Amino acid sequence: MKKILAFALAALVAGSATAQTSRRTLPSKASSAAKPAPSGALARPKLVVGIVVDQMRYDYLYRYWSKFGTGGFRRLLGEGFSFESCHYNYVPTYTGPGHASIYTGATPSVNGIVGNNWFERETGRATYVTEDKTVQGVGSSGAAGQQSPRHMLTTTITDELRLATNFQSKVIGVCIKDRGSILPAGHAATAAYWYDGGNGSFISSTFYQKTLPDWVVKFNQRGLATKYLSRTWNTLRPIAEYTESSPDNVAWEAAFKGEAAPVFPHNLPAISGVPAAIVDKDNLPGPASQTAADGKAASATPKAGATPANAATPNLGLLPSTPFGNTITTDLALEAIRAEQLGQRGITDFLALSYSSTDYVGHQFGPNSIEVEDTYLRLDQELTRLFETLDKTVGKGQTLVFLTADHGAAHSPDFLRAHRLPAGAVGASIMRDTLQNRLVRRHGAGNWVLSYENQQVYLNRTLASEKKIKLADLAEEVVQVMVQLPGVSRALTAEDIQKSHWESGTLMFLENGYYPKRCGDVLVVLEPGWYEAYSFPAKGTTHGESWAYDTHVPLLFWGWHVKHGESAAPVQVVDIAATLARFLHLQEPSGCTGVPLVEVLK
């Protein structure tokens, strides 16, 4: 009898272990990348570069394939390892949560980054994901510099590298967006830099340092933002070759303010107020290898003095909405590698690099626009410039690179409807006001809906208590109202989220994105093809849902100890941090729920 019980217990334990690993069954061979070097020194790359492309749908890798050069995306796919079925596993799929998920290896339910903004019940107002009024800007006197990672509740893989090396490793974040720099760089970062459209400079905050390093000051003094806006944005190739995109002038694209139509060429000097530069080979925006539409070579450093000194105050905040926002991001990243000697100091460093202009352009023009295609063709050249620099400064095969995206994007509803495909847009303010009016009619006057953010309803709990209405009952009423609205697939109360558990499907996304201290009382799911619009008719696109076009993103590893290959096995973005931990012999981030992707570690 004892033997029978022992066998039964062993079978039960084995079955439990199988259930825990059934989510993704991958080979478990020992990793050659995880073994110490023969000399006894621990084998680590000299530099890790994490590249996050904002709003990059997975299919962009192949949609523009024939027009990419050989040194950017094609090099990653041709020499690296691609996970072809990588998805996010939570909602909302926004920039802040995406960057946090990549670097913490955890969903918002654990890392606390539930959106780019959320409603704070303690203060009765919305807060921004990296907002921190306890710090001051460095390089900027405004609110743009009052930022830090304090809202993020867990460590990042970059934090773990700093801890493992007794803070000798350098970790630097670079991005146009503050949240795209700050969250990946982590709490213990050496520095994080982001763009201030008010002064056209890269800035930081006192969370990291009291003053900008001399190299950043000198970089800002070059005035690249002004110079990149001093020339018209034309297509990189003849416009007739952009056969992967819709015609240039369609109703669902948004024009720049001051433009009559959203068409090429985009006269950036006229739009931004930056005086036009003299057009010659020395002052065209972009890397030296770039070929402008007029066939002239482009220089990485525009000619000094091309912009008159007495120019009126320009709108330098326009730069991120052009592909040259990615150009200046690469410029700063390469200068950081040089000035900080990243990967050249005998210890592993980490550059957290995010490209944001793809998101700005995507929001304005939509995934099927020539503007988006042109932005990706130019980004491909930026990647080439980056990889060539890494080869020369750090050494071929000495940098571990991964590339992914913080979310995808939906097609523009009018584009889909023009092709008889189901789609639509809802207005967040309309949904909020409709719900508010219904509750007033049922329960009397009062501010029943405090906020509608991230497809979540924040109810006035104090008012409900005063009216002797149970919060659970009020939330159920809200569910019944919301599911009747156009474009809404379903709604669920927060109480149901907390009392249940889902391993897959739509409700799993809600559960993984729910952190009770920051989320609402009712969570809403939109129909496939529908999204929240902030103007009507809806222009461009957005993202945020649990459908594949928002969750499916590229995941490429390249460089140090990475063999060429690809996998169709389903993987999740939270697995990236766990995989990096295995590559680098680090403890996983404190809230990490991902697993190492052993196929790339073989």
Q: Taking the chain, what is the end-to-end CA distance rounded to the nearest angstrom?
A: 44
Contact 328, 26 (CB under 8 A): no
Contact 522, 491 (CB under 8 A): yes
Tell which phi-psi region holds residue 84, choosing left (phi > 0), alpha (psi between -120 and 50) or beta. alpha
- Report the 10 Å Cβ neighbour count for 214: 9
Contact 379, 326 (CB under 8 A): yes
Q: Of 197, 187, 224, 209, which Cα lies nearest the Cα of 330?
A: 224
| 130 is an active site residue | no
Q: Residue 431 has which token pair?
A: 């949904």
Q: Residue 526 has which token pair?
A: 């939109």
Contact 384, 81 (CB under 8 A): no
Contact 402, 576 (CB under 8 A): yes
Q: For residue 408, give every residue at least 6 positions away whose Cβ sits within 8 Å of its Cβ, in sequence order, or none.
A: 55, 56, 57, 58, 93, 543, 548, 549, 550, 551, 552, 553
Q: What distance in Å separates the CA atoms of residue 545 and residue 112, rounded to the nearest whole number?
A: 18
Order of all β-strands in the sheet with 449-453: 449-453, 456-459, 522-526, 488-493
Cis previous bond, 308, omega within 30 = no
Q: What distance in Å separates the CA atoms of residue 476 and residue 484, rounded to the nearest whole number?
A: 13
Of the residues 21, 93, 95, 232, which is catalytic?
A: 95
Distances (CA, A) of 6 to 1, 17, 121: 9, 17, 53
What radius of gyration do the chain's Cα atoms show?
Answer: 25
CA atoms within 13 A on the CB side of 417: 11
The β-bridge partners of 88 are none
3-class DSSP state of 305:
coil
Instruction: List, by residue number, the catalytic residues.
Output: 95
